[in-house]
Amino acid sequence: MLFTSRSSSAEPTDQAPSARKNGDSGILPPGKVLENLSNSISESITQPAVRVGKELKSMLLDPAPVKPVARPIVAPSIRAGDKPRLLGGLTVLIPAYNEGKFVADTIRSVQRQSVHIDHVIVIDDCSTDNTGEIARSCGPEIVVIRPPKNCGSKATALNYALEYVSTEYTLAIDADTTLADDAIEKLMPHFDQPRTAAVCGMVLPRFVRTMWERGRYIEYLYAFLFYKPIQDYYERPLIASGCFSAYRTDILRQLGGWNTRTVGEDMDLTWSVYRLGMSVRFAPEALCYPVEPHNYHFMSKQLQRWCAGFAQCIKVHWKDIVGTSVLRSMVATALWDAVVSVFALFILLPLLAIFVHPAFLLGYFLDLPTIVVPVLIYAAKRGEFFKALTSIPAFWVLRFVNTYFVTRAFWNEFIGKRSVTVFEKGH
């Protein structure tokens, strides 16, 4: 899915005592939202070749926009053996709900970073396992805070910890996600421009074993290596992934932290940043490795939340989508890829081949190279060519499943009026 996110770690199940409900403030009736959105999306996809051609020409041939002089972010170490420090300081927030199995790995990956981290705060969101005890055992520098009651959502847990942050930058990382040793050092220099409010990193599954993990592996390679760099050229990624993104703390506070009006708090925050006229950057060299759903049961929970969050963000931010050509094009492309193209591949083409002419099966060769070629090239650079090649069939299965959940989410949010309000974990 193009709107790939990763945001699962502090998300209680259906039994969580205080699930957050979506607010109705500022949201138009579904019919009006659909009317406005359909008009803008129709405009975005009526002449796709012209638009894409112009944008690729601008990206590849036109001069890069003039930017102000970059401000250094990482200061060199003063004494031998010391890690370089981040100017302004950095606090890492790790929201965790029943993450005793993974939280130690996450904390240790933060401790191994090649730059100095000023503060590490673990939000033990009233876990019923030993998450808090394991986090405390990782070292005296790890601060573990526990809200008086379960927060009901990852957004609320992060906002609870935001009050403790005193540094210029805040980094949120899921409690099931590990970082490459130089991930933060690679991420932070992208804040060198004053209008950059957030930076997100490259996401790859930690485990690639089951069919669902393999499908997600290809999905991430494709989304982060094909679409994300184009979005980064315009400084408008569709989403700063919740599993590993850094923010200017003052911008977070100006926006009131992570909003709880949707179940897609990371996408909601990203689009809210654009409303301020600020930018978001993508750092492909900054790698993180989350634990992805290993079976259909957990994958369905994650996809339900992601797709519902996407639809809810469209309802909340429809004016920004209509008024911002880049964001409008990205949303239209995401919907096209997630619904229309998959419908054509899995339903329309087979029917045409059966009832009209077998030559329609050649349509598969129009879509396949655009996905397989960039994925295999990058996988080969990582020494993972065979793993990627054998994972491609799983991607087609996951792509079809994505279409079902996207379609159902839009039906429920816009027509059925059955919004998803409960966070469910993806593992």
Q: At what angle do helices 48-60 and 30-46 cross, to 10 degrees?
A: 70
Indicate whether this model's pTM tops 0.85: no
User: Order of strands across the sheet with 169-173?
Assistant: 142-145, 119-124, 90-96, 169-173, 244-248, 196-203, 279-290, 177-179
| Bridge pairing between strands 177-179 and 169-173 | unpaired
Q: What is the pLDDT of residue 425?
A: 67
- Write a three-state SS string for 19-74: CCCCCCCCCCCHHHHHHHHHHHHHHHHHCHHHHHHHHHHHHHCCCCCCCCCCCCCE
Nearest to 160 by CA among 172, 147, 173: 147
Cα–Cα dist 388/33, whole Å: 40
Dihedrals phi, psi of 200, to nearest 5 degrees? -115, 155
CATH number of 1-427: 3.90.550.10
18, 151 in Cβ contact below 8 A? yes
Chain centre to alpha carbon of residue 284: 13
- How far apart CA 311 and CA 260 sit, in angstroms, is 15
- Local mean pLDDT, 10-residue blocks, the chain (427 residues): 49 42 52 59 48 48 48 65 89 98 98 97 97 97 97 96 97 98 97 96 98 98 93 96 98 98 97 96 98 97 96 94 87 86 84 92 80 94 96 94 93 90 72
> Residue 150's pLDDT is what?
95
311 contacts 410 by C-beta, under 8 angstroms: yes
Cβ distance 111 to 78 under 8 Å? no
- Predicted confidence at residue 362, as pLDDT, reads 84
What is the predicted pLDDT for the residue at 325? 84
């990193």: which residue's tokens?
201
